[in-house]
Structure 1
């Protein structure tokens, strides 16, 4: 599975758990960290955890290993690292504060059926 397919699997997982404002940034020419950043938010700690858990389950169902997951217990900003795709699942209040889309403003937005960027 290439990174473009992987980010679509992650975006669908987010959408399935009703994540809000799913944005995908193409990081391939901007950062060595990952090919894509997926950013979304949930309205409660429970929803943030459900989104992160679904990303993990869908990745594993597709034979991929989640390299690390950070922030799950606090559920304010959960980082799910699945290799070439890094997912940032924010609590709605935290997302505006960190504003990763602005921080990585050089990265082009990627449109998918699940993303609402652009």
Structure 2
């Protein structure tokens, strides 16, 4: 499975900002909302927001803007929609409670080379 440059860049920026437990699923065969779903855990609300700000800033520098951003500001879960890549940044409790892996876990997992 071939990864895109956008996905690689997003994954690298998330790892650079100490995002924990990053997983990526190739969801295109099962969903039309995106090609890839990335889920990562932050240690706190400020960490969630810092990761999101950093990823958005780095993508903007590369000429990529998100289609939508949900939860930015004071939030423990932020979703960044880059079209082909959907990113969910969550605190531990939210990640355990909503368990997005139970929805997308049946999809092919993408290896993350930066960890």
For these two proteins, the number of residue pairs brought into alignment is 114
Which residues of structure 2 form unaligned runs of 5+?
Answer: none
Matching residue of 1:83: 83
Q: Distance in 1 between matches of 2:3 and 2:34?
A: 9
CA RMSD of aligned residues (A): 1.5
Once the two structures are superposed, residues 50-94 of structure 1 have per-residue CA deviations (whole angstroms, 9 ceiling, x without a partner) of 111111112111111111111112321100011110100001110
Once the two structures are superposed, residues 29-70 of structure 1 have per-residue CA deviations (whole angstroms, 9 ceiling, x without a partner) of 010000001100101011000111111112111111111111
Matching residue of 1:7: 7
Q: Secondary structure at the match of 2:73?
A: coil
Segments ≥4 residues shifted beyond 6 Å: none
Q: Secondary structure at the match of 2:113?
A: coil
Q: Secondary structure at the match of 2:4?
A: helix
Q: Secondary structure at the match of 1:6?
A: helix
Q: Secondary structure at the match of 2:48?
A: helix
8 A contact 1:42–1:48 mirrored in 2: yes
**1:81–1:11: structure 2 CA closer, same or farther, 3 Å change rule?**
same
The TM-score, its normalising length taken from structure 2, stands at 0.92
Q: Report the alpha carbon displacement of residue 16 of structure 1 after superposing the two structures with TM.
A: 1.1
Q: Secondary structure at the match of 2:93?
A: helix
Q: Distance in 1 between matches of 2:34 and 2:5?
A: 14
Q: Report the alpha carbon displacement of residue 3 of structure 1 after superposing the two structures with TM.
A: 6.3
Is it true that 1:49 corresponds to 2:38 in the alignment? Answer: no
Matching residue of 2:17: 17
